[in-house]
Structure 1
């Protein structure tokens, strides 16, 4: 299994993943991002919590690019 990573958006990197489901406040433009090809789990820092997404076997075509689909898997909160 690939390591869990906290990801950040890099505007200079071509998106290759689409985040599906999860928080409604996650903007559409934040749902496409670049991830390492080996990643199977994304952990996004969102204020006082982390949103977790897991890779699926599904891909979608968007604006001429093929994106791997990551489905929302849950939320954990930052310990204080």
Structure 2
């Protein structure tokens, strides 16, 4: 799933321990909010997040929450 970083955020990526995924990087735009999971390239690995039923409010905007589940590494 491609997430545009220059659009108005509509999801928040929660959890995980990647040093490459700062707090502001966790605010993302998804063109299709009906997806069950997303993955984000962070350095040499992908961080995987799954949708849940929660929402959160950040900067007066309600965002759908995707919870971190695991990471996988990029094959060389």
Short-chain TM bin: 0.7 to 0.9
Indicate which of 39, 56, 64 corresponds to 1:60.
Answer: 56
TM-score scaled by length of structure 2 = 0.86
In the TM superposition, what is the alpha-carbon distance from 1:24 to its structure 2 partner?
4.4
Listed as ranges, the gaps of 5+ residues in structure 1 are: none
Indicate which of 23, 28, 31 corresponds to 2:17.
Answer: 23
Between the two proteins, the alignment pairs up a number of residues equal to: 74
TM-score scaled by length of structure 1 = 0.82
Q: Deviations over 1:21-78 (max 9, x none)?
A: 0124211110111112122111111121110000000001111111001100100011
SS of 2:24's equivalent?
A: helix
8 Å CA contact retained: 2:18, 2:42: no
Listed as ranges, the gaps of 5+ residues in structure 2 are: none
Instruction: Please provide the CA RMSD for this pair.
Output: 1.3
Which residue matches 1:32? 27
